A and B are shown apart, each in its own frame.
Chain A
Amino acid sequence: MEKLSFVGKSITRVDAEEKVTGSAIYGYDLVLPDMLYGKVLFSTRPHAIIKRIDTEKARRLPGVHAVVTGKDAPWTHGETIKDMPFLAQGKVRFVGEPVAAVAAVDEDTAQAAVALIEVEYEDCPAYFSPEEACNPGAVLIHEDYDSYRKSDIIVPGPLPNILEHFKLRTGNVEAGFRESDLVLEQRYVVPAIGHAALEPHSAHAQVDPESGKVTVWVANDAPFRVLHETAEALGLPKEKIRFINPYQGGGFGSKGAMKVETIAIALAYQTNGRPVRVKFNRAETFVSTITRHEAIVYIKSGVKRDGTLVARQVRIYWGAGAYAEKSPTVCIKGSHPSPGPYRIPHVQVDGYAVYTNKPLAGAFRGYGVPQTAWACEQHMDELAQRLGMDALDFRLKNVFVDGDLSYWGERLQSVGLKETLLKATEAIGWGKKTGQSNPPKGIRIGKGFACIAKPTRTPTTSTAAVKIDSRGDVMILAGTVEIGQGCTTILSQIAAEELQVPIDKVRMHSLDTDLIPFDASTTSSRSTYHMGNAVKRAAVKARDQITEMAASLFDTSKENLELSNGKVRVKDRREPALSFGEVICQKLGSDGVVAGDGAYTFEMGKDVDPQTGHSEHASAFYMYATQAAEVAVDEETGRVRLIRMVAAHDVGKAINPLNCVAQIEGGLAMGIGAALHEELVIDDHGRVKNPSFLDYHLVTSLDLPKMETIIVECPDPNGPYGAKGLGEPGLAPTPAAIGNAVANALGTRIYELPLSPERVYWAIQTSKKNPSPSVSAEPVVSNPTSFR
């Protein structure tokens, strides 16, 4: 490969200056002229019929401009199942559901008006566990589910309240279990957690009274998708809707959903053209936007005495909460890789996304993989232990390598998994004594690791344009949202590389759907790969125009030209170089512009078959990672302290190594939080008990151990410069790696997250009373909550 000048370099983030001076404008900062302030009345019941809403007193309060309820906003929306009203319609399905909203001259007035709205409810039975909600005979949370508009990917389930059933069928698991020497079955539980992006959610909306055009200012990470969803909901043509993106103060999946947006739009229809700002405070953000799916995972495996995996059956109950949101696709994309990155001849997976009367679950960094990895990777360790095999040897025997045919029927290529396994375990000193060979009394030390493969949303499309003006300044028009991941820098590096211009000559336009070409979404770790390719193609096209013009100016052929530092010159000629700006001025005049466009779709990509879970190209690329942990557990308090963490990630090609490390570290911290203390606690009335940063424990600077990151580069043949994605996997194997280390330290395993001191303490006490059964290779079924 040619030498690269910008790609592969740790170039300083191009958005950093705005961020360190406080001049970057985020969604929460935005002020619009003449705007009104919105506030929301939320449901206090988990599942109830609305008998009466009285908004009279609120309407009469001076300063109030609009009060809306479901009646005034008769629209429903949803990505794949149109089940969610803008404001509750006749029924509420979780505590925290928006029931009514007010727009007023200031927030205090709006809040005071909200308090004057009276609602009368009639309670219905409510479900707070996905397993309970799909018991035969359970009351339906959505009576009209059958008549909702749905996309073709939806497969309804066989039991009540199941909104999506994912199936994967390969071989014959029953036969596989019969062939096996050891069969082990376990149940794992992952609770709901919050995205807890530091910027709370907000949206601003305006409806132009003349044209009917709806404009929404919101830090949404999928503006083109929500534009489509809004158009469908309102029955408007797409050109009547415009989304404008300010900076986003973190999202991690939560800000791709339409939650505040719907309320702002509903209000804006009633304010005669005045824009409306709706801000959720921290508690509202925790409860009334979205959460990460709770999951209950049953996993059963059959292995041969020599450690060969023969069969695996997985059944997952995804707690969707009160509305479908992205649950169908989380169920599909999260269940599909749940058996883990291993060669297994007989596989059966059933994923059920189940409605409950809890806050909605939606996209969260990792899209289901963190939950199933918690189950699969601990299960792998326990299998190894019962076989009397080393956990690393057991994995190496079964793990995906280049050329393997996966259990979903795809021939895998560019698999860097084994390398991540070897490097991470080596760095943690797997199989070697720990650094602390004589820990203090009552402290137990352990090591563990876990690995994952994470697919990306496929097939999807990114389009971009690259413009060069007569000053030689380069502008990228691309619909990738800067959510903190560094896309502005990465895409600028790619454009700079193709054009050979200094990085400070390159800028990226802010996102406005009226102006910027289409992009599917800034999700699923897809941007570097898809948008990177699109920007690369666009830059090449722009470059070709420059070189064509320059060739005629220099009176030579294009092949004789070379580019560097924003200039073009003839190879081996003494003639002075011309800057891009000069070329454009001379050929097109001082107002001249050249522009190239580029698009990228992973053409071979095909969604998995809904009946078998098979696809020859289920994902444009796969992200592979192994993380390892060393922990110290205090027997007296149950507290788990991390001594160190190692993360080895296959990124294909690190376009910006510093940014890769930063993404991995951030992911690790999130994974550590999920492993040790994060949980949205919901009581038996459906109320979130800890919707604040005081009670919901995010990791602080004091909670983190030494983190070592290892970048593995196993290039992807179609990725730009070989790059894959990286945004999500950082947190996916973390809890399982820590869980395995804790089990290694204690000799007893914990099946439920988080590994809070209390849970660990009781696990220690229980194991003292009944020490775990001696390890044998006889068929055993531990944790015998059986398959239904």
Chain B
Amino acid sequence: MQCVAVPAIFPGWPGERGDINKKIRITLNGQERILEVVPYRLLLDLLRDEMGMTGTKEGCGTGDCGACTVLLHGKPVNSCLVFSGELDGADIVTIEGLKIGPELHPVQDAFRQDGGAQCGYCTPGMLMMTTALLRENEQPTEEEIRFALSGNLCRCTGYAKIIQAVQRAAEMMREKKITEAKG
């Protein structure tokens, strides 16, 4: 049974891994980085374990919950389904890169104000997915929001406050755009 007698993924794994490292060059939250990675390690583990960036959350490790969502070349992906070895040349944005200078991104601010986060564990993934949605669709309908977030599970909120927060974020971003255009 796959759930308990978890087979060792690498039987006889020697506890060393020097021989199969690979060098990659990525842009992470706007900064260029050259990293040595184990190619079969997941992007999620690379971020959390190797780089100590634990803002990206792990809820399942199997692509079913969306807690680990990051932006890869501007598109939302489950970082638990991406191998480090595939990342050469990748542009990655995580929750740590969402703030605009010292200011919260409107998406963050809206979730903060509207009760979009309770335990907050799904929140980073929700925020990255929302960011991706609002880039493509400035004025999503409730249906479109529900659809966009349907791969991001939340056990706390019942989604109502999250959806409200996304609507508010969209509004804030539109207003910002207008003021910027005027200014």
The answer on a CB contact under 8 Å between A115 and B8 is yes
Q: Secondary structure at chain B's binding surface: helix, strand, loop or mixed? A: loop
Q: Which of A20, A23, A692 contacts B127 (CB 8 A)?
A: A20
Chain B contacts for A747, CB-based, 8 A = none
The answer on a CB contact under 8 Å between A665 and B157 is yes
A108 to B154, CA, bound (A): 29
Chain B contacts for A32, CB-based, 8 A = none
> B73 an interface residue at 8 Å Cβ cutoff?
no
A44 to B157, CA, bound (A): 35
Chain A contacts for B1, CB-based, 8 A = 44, 95, 687
The answer on a CB contact under 8 Å between A112 and B13 is yes
Of B20-28, B142-150, B173-181, the segment with at least 4 beta carbons within 8 Å of chain A is B142-150
The answer on a CB contact under 8 Å between B118 and A666 is yes
Q: Which of B5, B54, B156 contacts A666 (CB 8 A)?
A: B156
Chain A contacts for B6, CB-based, 8 A = 42, 111, 114, 281, 283-284
Chain A contacts for B122, CB-based, 8 A = 198
Q: Secondary structure at chain A's binding surface: helix, strand, loop or mixed? A: loop
> A691 an interface residue at 8 Å Cβ cutoff?
yes
Chain B contacts for A286, CB-based, 8 A = 3
Q: Which chain A residues in 243-271 approach chain B with CB under 8 Å?
A: 247-250, 252
Chain B contacts for A356, CB-based, 8 A = none
A105 to B2, CA, bound (A): 24
Chain A contacts for B95, CB-based, 8 A = 21-22
In the assembled complex, the CB of B29 is this many whole angstroms from the nearest CB of chain A, namely: 11
Chain B contacts for A701, CB-based, 8 A = 145-147, 149-150, 152, 154, 159, 162-163
Q: Given A44-B1, A693-B59, check contact A115 B155 (CB 8 Å).
A: no
A658 to B114, CA, bound (A): 8
Q: How many A-B residue pairs have CB under 8 A?
A: 231
The answer on a CB contact under 8 Å between A199 and B160 is no
A691 to B4, CA, bound (A): 10
Kindly report which residue of chain A lies nearest to residue B15, judged by CB atoms: A63
Kindly report which residue of chain B lies nearest to residue A64, judged by CB atoms: B15
> B101 an interface residue at 8 Å Cβ cutoff?
no
The answer on a CB contact under 8 Å between B157 and A662 is yes
> A213 an interface residue at 8 Å Cβ cutoff?
no
Q: Which of B11, B109, B161 contacts A115 (CB 8 A)?
A: B11
Q: Which chain B residues in 121-150 approach chain A with CB under 8 Å?
A: 121-124, 127, 145-147, 149-150
Chain A contacts for B111, CB-based, 8 A = 16, 20
Chain A contacts for B94, CB-based, 8 A = 22
Q: Given A112-B10, A198-B121, A198-B122, check contact A249 B4 (CB 8 Å).
A: no
A188 to B129, CA, bound (A): 41
The answer on a CB contact under 8 Å between A21 and B104 is yes
Chain B contacts for A28, CB-based, 8 A = 57-58
- 30 A-B pairs with CB atoms under 8 Å apart are A15-B120, A16-B111, A17-B104, A18-B120, A20-B104, A20-B111, A22-B56, A25-B54, A29-B54, A42-B4, A44-B4, A112-B11, A115-B8, A199-B121, A247-B120, A250-B155, A282-B65, A283-B3, A484-B119, A665-B160, A665-B161, A667-B158, A669-B159, A687-B1, A687-B3, A693-B153, A698-B155, A701-B154, A702-B147, A704-B159
Query: A22-B95, A666-B158 given. 17 additional CB < 8 A pairs?
Result: A19-B120, A22-B96, A29-B57, A44-B1, A62-B14, A95-B4, A112-B12, A115-B7, A199-B59, A247-B119, A248-B119, A669-B157, A693-B62, A700-B159, A701-B152, A701-B154, A704-B158
Where the two chains meet, the residues of B that have a C-beta atom closer than 8 Å to any C-beta of A are 1-16, 48, 52-62, 64-65, 67, 94-96, 98-99, 104, 108-109, 111-113, 115-124, 127, 145-147, 149-163
